[in-house]
Amino acid sequence: MKNKKKVSIITALTLSATLLLSACGSEGSSSKPAGDKDKKKLEDKVVIYSPHGKDILSEFEKQFEDKYGVDVEWLDMGSQEVLDRVRSEKNNPQADVWWGAPSVMFDQAKDEGLLEPYEPSYAGALAEGFRDPEWHWSGTSQTPEVIMYNSKELSKEEAPKDWDELLDPKWKDEIIIRYPLASGTMRTIFSAMIYRDFQDSQDPAKGYEWLEKLDANTKEYSANPEMMYSKVAKGEGSVSVWAMPDVVMLKENKNYPFEFIVPESGTPVLTEGIALVKNGQHPKAAEAFYEFVNTPEAAKLLAEKYYRIPTRDDVKDLPKWITDTEIKPMDIDWKVFQERSDEWMKYWDENIKSGDKEIKE
């Protein structure tokens, strides 16, 4: 896990001057986009928990600080780790905004009373499926899950085309997987494999059997995404399963030898979200950050530079990789995932994961 705690270099005098100048703008000045909080007094900092990684968090930190004069502190960790941390801090919240996680995790947090409802200014641009009915969270992007492979080690023809092909003995010790219990992405993929039969049988046994066969082919479980990326890129394993936008980003921005296959039988498509932490210490700055990272301009930047597929329906001129990729979403009852995922993952950890496959740091 990568942590970052940044000491503010903006003095109270500078912040006061910035707010004063904002309040005294001329009557003829141009209007601000919906959701801007420039004319409202904000707190001096905002604390973000997020799995989005250093690149995205650093970029929006700088933009937000430049615009508002508010210090941004962020911690980069897996989405399950965020949920666990917000739970542990319930009586003394340290975060203001939770930015990034599958919607099922936000639903869990909502049911546990960890989130503050907030209806953003752009509510009309989100379909009902991309938000909580009471606005405890809203969707920021859509994330299809895919099979990732090292294109120097495998051709497209050689790479697995569907989930069940990963169980072929020829992939033994070729698969490297992010440790599922700390990753919302991996928990979703594993839960989806169980759900395929469970939706009719109401029995997870066949799904557990599938995960046992996958475990037999898995070389190791990496403690964080960066370790998994590095090992697949070096050819220590040639195959993994991960989020499509991340695979494209790593290929285009970091020149990793990665390609992806959209599973032919269908794939879980996550709604990534954002939420305010209940009783956060900087509520006004939190609302401003929530709005700031979800403007059409921010959504377009995230699509073009960081390969996120927006949930807003008013974002124009998206990249071709988004508009041209055909995705077949699995039909999933996400409420079942919310109710069963912890049970399923606990069973995997205690009964399926091979003891000789260390969680590699």
| 255: pLDDT strictly greater than 70 | yes
Alpha-carbon gap, residue 111 to 50, rounded angstroms: 20
Confidence (pLDDT) at 39: 42
pTM for this entry = 0.69
| 122: pLDDT strictly greater than 80 | yes
| 346: pLDDT strictly greater than 60 | yes
Among the ranges given (128-132, 211-215, 231-235), the one the predictor scored with the smallest mean pLDDT: 128-132
**What would the mean pLDDT of 184-199 be, rounded to a whole number?**
95
Q: Which domains does the chain have, with CATH numbers?
A: 2-142+271-324 (3.40.190.10), 143-269+326-360 (3.40.190.10)
User: pLDDT tens-digit profile of 81-99?
Assistant: 999 999 999 999 999 999 9
| 6: pLDDT strictly greater than 60 | no
Among the ranges given (13-27, 136-150, 168-182, 204-218), the one the predictor scored with the smallest mean pLDDT: 13-27
**What would the mean pLDDT of 107-132 be, rounded to a whole number?**
95
pLDDT band at 129 (very low <50, low <70, confident <90, very high): confident
For 56, 120, 168, the CA distances from 306, given in Å and listed in that order, are 7, 23, 33
Region of residue 144 (phi > 0: left; psi between -120 and 50: alpha; otherwise: beta): beta
Confidence (pLDDT) at 41: 82
Alpha-carbon gap, residue 358 to 361, rounded angstroms: 9
**What would the mean pLDDT of 101-125 be, rounded to a whole number?**
95
Kindly state the percentage of the chain with pLDDT values over 90: 75
pLDDT band at 353 (very low <50, low <70, confident <90, very high): very high
Higher-pLDDT residue of 333 and 23 is: 333
| 18: pLDDT strictly greater than 50 | no
Inter-helix orientation angle 334-347/184-201, to 10° = 110
pLDDT band at 4 (very low <50, low <70, confident <90, very high): very low
Average pLDDT, the chain: 88
